[in-house]
Chains A and B, each alone.
Chain A
Amino acid sequence: MTANKSDRVTRETAATRHVGFTVNGQYHEFRVGSGGIEISPTHTLSWTLREVLGLMGTKVSCDSGACGSCTVIMDGKAVLSCKVLTIECDGKTITTIEGLRDPKTGALDPIQQSFIDHTAFQCGYCTPGMIMTAKAFLNENPQPTEEEIKDALSGNFCRCISHYQVIRAVMSVVEKEGEHGR
């Protein structure tokens, strides 16, 4: 199911429609259709990530764009993968929770480590979505205030009320980055 980008160009010249995108550094291409191994026009990105690519870290809770559990990063922005159709992802670059570790060393991303250090989770179901939202936000705004972090995470549903520990975890990354920068 994976292919080189150059292959894709030749295959696109044929009448069949394809969709190709990069997930966690790896390029994937699929034929669009209704066959078992094809991407249906009705498939959401969250479905494709989980059921086709086996990336179970992206959690689906409400499946209707209200809870933030399924958040992934697409071309640098946090998106709700249950509200994105897979066929809309052609040419996109996507990072899921599985792609946050350093690909060479396997080291955790500082946000992941900070969530561990602050026990910023209880049941953990919303955690991947929280981390991806925070990651995209800090990429855009590396030195936010606490209020800005709260705003950024306001679409993420957490029922255990780990909010206070999550804020501390994200603020701690901000502070460390700040020290690093100086």
Chain B
Amino acid sequence: MGDDYRFIGKATQRRDAVEIVTGTALYLDDLRFQNLLHGKVLRSPHAHALIKKIDKSKAEALPGVKAVLTWQDIPDWKGGTPRKLRVLDKKVRYVGDAVALVAASTEEIAREALDLIEVEYQVLPAVLDMDSALKHGAPLIYDEFPGNIIPGGTIAFGPNCLKGVVMGDVEKGFAEADVIAEGTFGYENIPNALPPEPVGAVAMWEEPNKVTLWSTSQAPYMDKGTLFHVFNRQVEIRCIGNHVGGSFGTKIMCWQVQAYAVLLSRATGKPVKVMFTKEEHMAAFTLRIGSRIHARVGMKKDGTLTAIHGTWYVDSGYYSFTTQAQVAVGSGELMIMAQCPNWDLKNIIVATNRNASGSTRGFGGQELKCSFIPILSLAMEKAALDPFEVLKKNYVKPGGGYFWRDGNWYQYRGIDYSAAMDKGAEQFGWKEKWKGWLTPTAVNGTKRLGIGVGVHGNADVGEDSAEAYVQLDCNGTATIFLCAAEHGTGQKSNYAKLVAEVLQIPLDRISMTPADSLITPFEFGPVGSRGTYAIGSAVINAAEDVKRRLFEFVAPKLGAEPQDLETVDGVVFVKGYPEKSLKWRALGYDRTLLGHGRFEPDFTVCNCMMSFVEVEVDTETGKVTLLRVVLATDVGQIIDPQGLEGQLNGALGSAGIDSAIFEETILNHSTGHILNANLMDYKWRTFTELPAMEHVVLETPMPTHRFHAVGVGEVATSPGPSAVLMAVSNAVGSWLHEYPVTPDRVLRAIGKVGYSARGGKK
């Protein structure tokens, strides 16, 4: 399908393939620096406390220690939305909060110094979940946030940032409904996307106010902007990206570890590296947001939605940086999958004394849908409707629309994804397997099979601006100037393919600058599946721009008009007259041409992913086994088939489907300690437990992209968890209300164990 391209859609080798398989790809911790010092963080053992006194004299006296910083030693640098959280504060707000920073000549000395810092705390009562945080008279985590409610909206999305969905008349909508369902479901297991590479940063300060930062960030140019505000708009920042060992949306925001490295470098005059240990990565770096919704849904007998009314409770942990943005995007994403004329969907963002939540792929929408689709399912159950049909019916179609993150209404101008959904259902055998609600598809002794379906899509594919340059050289080569750190999607290789296709030169004639904010123009970062449409279009536009300049330069020499020219393999010729040609060499050795490409945000198109899952539930042990996954999508045009396959397989891990089955961050609700902050106790899928994985990928040309493509990488995970909850509920014949569907919850749902099997947690 699609056009016959020379590079696009063909399997090509990743540009960094040899480096990766030979171990020469350089990640942050592999970079070497002269006179490097090592930074470590002293962390709070209390969930909520005031620091009464810190004695750092013994630590400072340890040979090799170069700096010990506490809240008293640092400028008033703050982050968060709103900007209220100091980098180091006199108050600690979760078990693991930063109390002091140490820089020393070796990691061992820095660690030893942490033990020599004496801290006297005044322990305060803590609120470890939303219920206790919202209770009248609950202890306040911030004086500025009464009731522990964090204000909605983020200025990043403009003055009218979407804070919920209110439209039409919900009472009228409920009056028109044939069935009304009401319920509460939560996705509160705060799973960790958990990239293998921990987070870290190296900073090199230059007096009086400059700093260069290398970090594990997936978005170096955005860091420059984020940190500019954190550092009170007084520091000139240069950010350099490198290979990133996985991100899954989390490493768009590494401001704390970056600030620690910058503060320590500023204090010592030396480059300082702070690498989190895996335990810090799991207990002191951002988790998914906790999500719970209480809602009513009105539906007609044919599956048409008439009203949605409810409150979305969002647990952000001890601070928010991106939670308001996730609420805005998540709310818009719910509208995309649930086209309905009448809405009253509010939300409350709650601060609790646990490690913070933040950006993770699915970005609000996954969390909201994991809670909302089960309520929608209750309505479908009442109306005895097939969930596949209802999800397909209510997904946005051309002519439909939605509010997006800036609070504006967007008329959808993308394609109808029904064909991809139908093809997915056919591949899965949905019609043959579906036996009705809370009914297993098969029962074999103690084993019961169940199926479920979920859907997700976002208009983030065209979010935020992107800029790139493409430079041509007379020797027939091109260089892409782009601030993109390769974090695993292979997009850097894809950008080279796009440029190769526009300029018709072989891939090995294309170079890329490092991701360095001093060299490249602005780029927001590879998030929200925006790599293909937003970043890709900027790169394409830069290539088209430089091609235009090339033709303008060569046209007079060929006695032709620029629009009559073509170029292939470094030769420009008149269309239809290949003998009338000039090599790029005609530019002369002393001339390069530079094209500039920019992408303006476009929220009028979205992507779509439908997940079908089949599970086996052992009613003796409660164990849930994922047997089969079928993912259905339409990408417009495949850029790189193997890269796409990898991205889609990613549906399982990084806090995706497995966050419904066994992944969870376990918080002790009396002490605030995370009990499984290591790779032994945090459950992750291994090679021996892989389900059958099938992809249905259509290529219906998208009108919005030069090569008709749309990105889908981010959304592969998002429809999966609710599909699993549906499948397990169907298999056991009773609704499960919480994630993950661990054996105790399954056994409780089928009445084999009592209600309080899971100590301390409802």
Asked whether B602 is an interface residue with its Cβ less than 8 Å from the other chain, the reply is no
Supposing A119-B642, A122-B489 touch, asked if A161 and B22 sit within 8 A by C-beta, the answer is no
Residue on B nearest A64 in the bound complex, by CB: B678
Asked whether B621 is an interface residue with its Cβ less than 8 Å from the other chain, the reply is no
CA distance A150 to B278 in the complex (A): 25
In the A-B complex, the 7 residue pairs with the smallest Cβ-Cβ separation, listed nearest first, are A57-B23, A123-B488, A125-B245, A97-B23, A124-B20, A66-B679, A119-B642
Asked whether B1 is an interface residue with its Cβ less than 8 Å from the other chain, the reply is no
CA distance A121 to B230 in the complex (A): 35
> What are the interface flags for B2-35 relative to A under an 8 Å C-beta threshold, 1 for contact and 0 otherwise?
0000000001011011111111111101101000
B649 touches A67 (CB 8 A): no
Instruction: Pick the interface stretch among B368-376, B502-510, B683-691, B726-734.
Output: B683-691
Chain B residues proximal to chain A, CB less than 8 Å: 11, 13-14, 16-27, 29-30, 32, 108, 193-198, 243-248, 277-278, 487-490, 642-643, 645-647, 649-654, 678-680, 684-688, 690, 693
Supposing A160-B654, A161-B649 touch, asked if A125 and B197 sit within 8 A by C-beta, the answer is yes
Supposing A67-B679, A121-B20 touch, asked if A161 and B653 sit within 8 A by C-beta, the answer is yes
Report chain B residues within 8 Å CB of A62.
Answer: 278, 678-679
**Which of B11, B245, B688 is most buried by chain A, counting CB atoms within 10 A of its CB?**
B245
Supposing A56-B30, A119-B642, A158-B196 touch, asked if A164 and B693 sit within 8 A by C-beta, the answer is yes
A119 touches B649 (CB 8 A): no
User: 19 A–B contact pairs at CB < 8 A?
Assistant: A57-B23, A59-B27, A61-B196, A64-B278, A67-B196, A97-B23, A119-B11, A122-B646, A123-B245, A124-B243, A125-B196, A150-B690, A155-B686, A156-B687, A158-B653, A161-B654, A163-B649, A163-B687, A164-B690
CA distance A59 to B21 in the complex (A): 12
Asked whether A157 is an interface residue with its Cβ less than 8 Å from the other chain, the reply is yes
Contact of B22 among A67, A100, A160 (CB under 8 A): A100
CA distance A61 to B280 in the complex (A): 12
Asked whether A136 is an interface residue with its Cβ less than 8 Å from the other chain, the reply is no
Contact of B646 among A66, A116, A131, A160 (CB under 8 A): A160
Chain A's nearest CB lies how many Å from the CB of B36? 11
A164 touches B22 (CB 8 A): no
CA distance A21 to B261 in the complex (A): 36
Chain A's nearest CB lies how many Å from the CB of B547? 29
A69 touches B22 (CB 8 A): no
B26 touches A56 (CB 8 A): yes
B649 touches A162 (CB 8 A): yes
A123 touches B684 (CB 8 A): no
Chain B's nearest CB lies how many Å from the CB of A76? 20
Asked whether A3 is an interface residue with its Cβ less than 8 Å from the other chain, the reply is no
Q: Which chain A residues (39-72) contact chain B, with CB distance < 8 Å?
A: 42, 50, 54-64, 66-67, 69
CA distance A5 to B686 in the complex (A): 42
B688 touches A101 (CB 8 A): no
CA distance A164 to B30 in the complex (A): 28
Residue on A nearest B23 in the bound complex, by CB: A57
B197 touches A160 (CB 8 A): no
Supposing A64-B678, A67-B196, A125-B197 touch, asked if A57 and B646 sit within 8 A by C-beta, the answer is no
Chain A residues proximal to chain B, CB less than 8 Å: 42, 50, 54-64, 66-67, 69, 96-98, 100-101, 108, 112-113, 115-116, 118-119, 121-128, 131, 149-151, 153-167
A98 touches B679 (CB 8 A): no
Supposing A163-B690, A167-B687 touch, asked if A59 and B245 sit within 8 A by C-beta, the answer is yes
CA distance A66 to B688 in the complex (A): 16
New A-B contacts (18) at CB < 8 Å, excluding given A96-B23, A116-B18, A161-B651: A59-B197, A62-B679, A64-B678, A100-B22, A113-B21, A115-B17, A115-B21, A119-B14, A119-B17, A122-B246, A124-B19, A124-B20, A125-B195, A125-B196, A126-B196, A156-B687, A159-B194, A165-B646
A161 touches B646 (CB 8 A): yes
Residue on A nearest B645 in the bound complex, by CB: A165
Report chain B residues within 8 Å CB of A60.
Answer: 29
**Which of A101, A123, A150 is most buried by chain B, counting CB atoms within 10 A of its CB?**
A123
A122 touches B488 (CB 8 A): yes
CA distance A77 to B488 in the complex (A): 29
B278 touches A124 (CB 8 A): no
CA distance A115 to B13 in the complex (A): 10
CA distance A158 to B21 in the complex (A): 15
A161 touches B650 (CB 8 A): yes
Contact of A64 among B30, B651, B679 (CB under 8 A): B679
CA distance A158 to B245 in the complex (A): 10
Report chain A residues within 8 Å CB of B195.
Answer: 123, 125, 159
B489 touches A154 (CB 8 A): no
Chain A's nearest CB lies how many Å from the CB of B603? 28
Supposing A116-B17, A119-B643, A119-B646 touch, asked if A159 and B196 sit within 8 A by C-beta, the answer is yes
Residue on B nearest A147 in the bound complex, by CB: B688
B642 touches A165 (CB 8 A): yes
Chain B's nearest CB lies how many Å from the CB of A171? 12
Report chain A residues within 8 Å CB of B247.
Answer: 123
CA distance A109 to B198 in the complex (A): 29
Report chain B residues within 8 Å CB of A101.
Answer: 22
Report chain B residues within 8 Å CB of A127.
Answer: 20-21
CA distance A50 to B693 in the complex (A): 37
Report chain A residues within 8 Å CB of B688.
Answer: 150-151, 154
CA distance A70 to B198 in the complex (A): 14
Residue on A nearest B684 in the bound complex, by CB: A157
A98 touches B22 (CB 8 A): yes
Residue on B nearest A96 in the bound complex, by CB: B23
Supposing A63-B277, A64-B278, A161-B650 touch, asked if A57 and B687 sit within 8 A by C-beta, the answer is no
Residue on B nearest A114 in the bound complex, by CB: B21
Report chain A residues within 8 Å CB of B24.
Answer: 56-57, 98
Report chain B residues within 8 Å CB of A119.
Answer: 11, 13-14, 17, 490, 642-643, 645-646
Report chain A residues within 8 Å CB of B194.
Answer: 159
A66 touches B27 (CB 8 A): no
Chain B's nearest CB lies how many Å from the CB of A155? 8
CA distance A59 to B16 in the complex (A): 17
Contact of A125 among B19, B246, B278 (CB under 8 A): B246
CA distance A108 to B197 in the complex (A): 25
Residue on B nearest A65 in the bound complex, by CB: B680
A160 touches B650 (CB 8 A): yes
Chain B's nearest CB lies how many Å from the CB of A66? 4
A157 touches B679 (CB 8 A): yes
Supposing A67-B196, A124-B16, A153-B687 touch, asked if A159 and B642 sit within 8 A by C-beta, the answer is no
**Which of A56, A100, A150, A154 is most buried by chain B, counting CB atoms within 10 A of its CB?**
A56
Residue on B nearest A118 in the bound complex, by CB: B642
CA distance A103 to B718 in the complex (A): 46
